[in-house]
Amino acid sequence: MIRFLHTADWQIGTQFGQFEPDEAAHLAQARFDTVRRIADDAAARKVDAVLVAGDVFDLQTVSDTVIRRLFAALQAFTGPWIMLPGNHDAALVESVWTRAQRLNCVPPNVRLVLAPGVVLLDACRCAVLCAPLTQRITYDDTTGFFDTVETPPDYHRVGLAHGSVSGILQEGIDSSNPISPTRAASARLDYLALGDWHGHFRVDERTWYAGTHEQDRFRANDPGFMLDVTLSEPGAQPLVDAVRVGQYQWHRWDESISVPTDVDSLKARLATLGGSDVLRVSVSGTAALADAEALHVAVEETRARVRALRVDLSGLQVLPTTEDLAELGAQSGYLAKVVARLRGMQEDPQSDPQQVKRAAEALLLLARFQRELPREARSA
């Protein structure tokens, strides 16, 4: 019997440029922290090995410090680590892997597989057939040699590769590196451990994507897992357990506001989020001035609670009601004319989208200034 962890797509060194610097720093750090969690779990579960199916690093040009930190994060598990280059960190003549070797920071229990071949784990009678990417994009199936390679009798045959299973992952794949959907059967594999798709995914009973260990995109494809795989004997069906290890969960909300209860509902949903959440929210529709102000406050309160937030309120039109105007002292005179003009800019179908956005922001800013004045000072 052999038991191993299957993980992939760590993409250490990701910059997260879409977020504020402090948010990006926390998200980048989480990728190291979750690798440490995998190492801790591997030790606690007493697995025979950890297989990393490509894209350990996000870029070939990550700093030497990042390389050293990554390998230091593995120390809790002293068993074999088998690491495969993917399309982001392909095994070029000069690569992040050759730099790691020159830095002499790769622990002796970590096997970097920089050329196609077989790694034998004799202690657990397992042959790992490895198909590293030696360039970022290939058009031939790098796992083709699995079908003919010989392994010791009575050894488990486990494949390790990085790419897209043809006809399965056609939408949003990371690269065009093709893998046959029948490879596990044609190569007589007990299990085929894949990387490239960022969510954990069962292709068939013997072929699995582990997905990225720490979510990095606003896509609901089950990221943030590692796979705990047990093979009882050669030829037996693998037992695969998806184990959540990711620290953060990413959400993408596209909200439409038309009545005040829609604002209340969105505020209630925002209130459920906390420090383990990353949110991207886009709001469109129309709202009274008071409701729009309440929504802005709720968004800013959420920003203080969640790990990272991206918000787009440019699609929300702010349309003051009679009650809003009375509260602001803007029922007549110059202030009323300003409000009317800003409303007109939002309602005009010929208005530029940026102009519509600025008009809504101006109304909210005007409301804030007016509310800061004593009531008796508010006049037209």
pTM comes to 0.86
Q: Is 202 helix (H, G, I), strand (E, B) or coil?
A: strand
Looking at the structure of the chain, the number of domains it has is: 2
Using 50, 70 and 90 to split pLDDT, how confident is the model at 322?
Answer: low
Question: What does each C-alpha distance from 21 to 25, 26, 27, 66 come to in angstroms?
Answer: 6, 9, 10, 17
Task: Name 165's bridge partners.
Answer: 179
- Asked if residues 188 and 154 have their Cβ atoms less than 8 Å apart, the reply is no
Q: Are both 260 and 238 inside the same structural domain?
A: no
Residues 76 and 214 in one domain: yes
Short-list 3, 23, 95, CA closest to 55: 95
**Same-domain check for residues 184 and 218:** yes
Higher pLDDT, 321 or 74: 74
Statement to judge: residues 187 and 81 lie in one domain: yes
Specify the pLDDT at position 290: 84
Q: In terms of residue numbers, what domain contains 279?
A: 249-377
* Model confidence band, residue 262 (pLDDT cutoffs 50, 70, 90): very high
Tell me how far apart the alpha carbons of residues 240 and 203 are, in angstroms, rounded to a whole number: 12
Residue 380: per-residue pLDDT: 43
Structure tokens at 50: 């950890």
Whether 235 and 295 map to the same domain: the answer is no
Q: Are 240 and 218 in contact (CB under 8 A)?
A: no
How high is the pLDDT of residue 174?
A: 44
Same domain assignment for residues 189 and 274: no
Q: How far apart are CA 99 and CA 87, in angstroms?
A: 17
pLDDT at 296: 87
Q: What is the CATH number of the domain that holds 159?
A: 3.60.21.10
3-state secondary structure of 274: coil
What span, in angstroms and rounded, lies between the C-alpha atoms of 279 and 298?
A: 13
User: What pLDDT band is residue 265 in, cutting at 50, 70 and 90?
Assistant: very high
Final residue before a domain boundary, out of 212, 244, 276: 244
Residues sharing a CB contact under 8 Å with residue 297, sequence separation 6 or more, in sequence order: none
pLDDT, tens digit (0-9, with 9 covering 90-100), for 35-87: 999 999 999 999 999 999 999 999 999 999 999 999 999 999 999 999 999 99
Same domain, 22 and 142: yes
195 and 215 share one domain = yes
Structure tokens at 178: 């093709």
How does strand 81-83 pair with strand 110-112? parallel
Identify the domain boundary among 214, 244, 274.
Answer: 244
Does residue 354 or residue 146 have the better pLDDT? 146
Q: Is 66 exposed, middle or buried (0-12, 13-18, 19+ CB in 10 A)?
A: middle
- Residue 168 vs residue 150, higher pLDDT: 150
Same domain for 259 and 228: no
Which pLDDT score, from 0 to 100, does residue 315 have? 85
Beta strands, E only, the chain: 2-7, 49-52, 81-83, 110-112, 117-121, 126-131, 156-162, 164-165, 178-179, 191-195, 201-204, 207-209, 225-231, 239-244, 249-257, 277-287, 308-318
**Would the pLDDT of 157 be above 50?**
yes
Give the Cα separation of 167 and 178 in Å (integer).
Answer: 9
Residues 362 and 313 in one domain: yes
Cα gap 11→307, rounded to integer Å: 19
Sign of CA dihedral 212, 48, 236, 190: positive
pLDDT(244) > 80? yes
Residue 314: pLDDT band with limits 50, 70, 90 = confident
Same structural domain, 204 and 255:
no
Predicted confidence at residue 168, as pLDDT, reads 76
Pick the last residue of a domain from 178, 209, 244: 244
At residue 96 the predicted structure's pLDDT band, cuts being 50, 70 and 90, is: very high
Same domain, 18 and 156: yes
Q: Which carries the bigger pLDDT value, residue 116 or residue 333?
A: 116
Bridge partners (DSSP) of residue 228 are 5, 241
* Contact (Cβ atoms closer than 8 angstroms) between residue 356 and residue 316: no
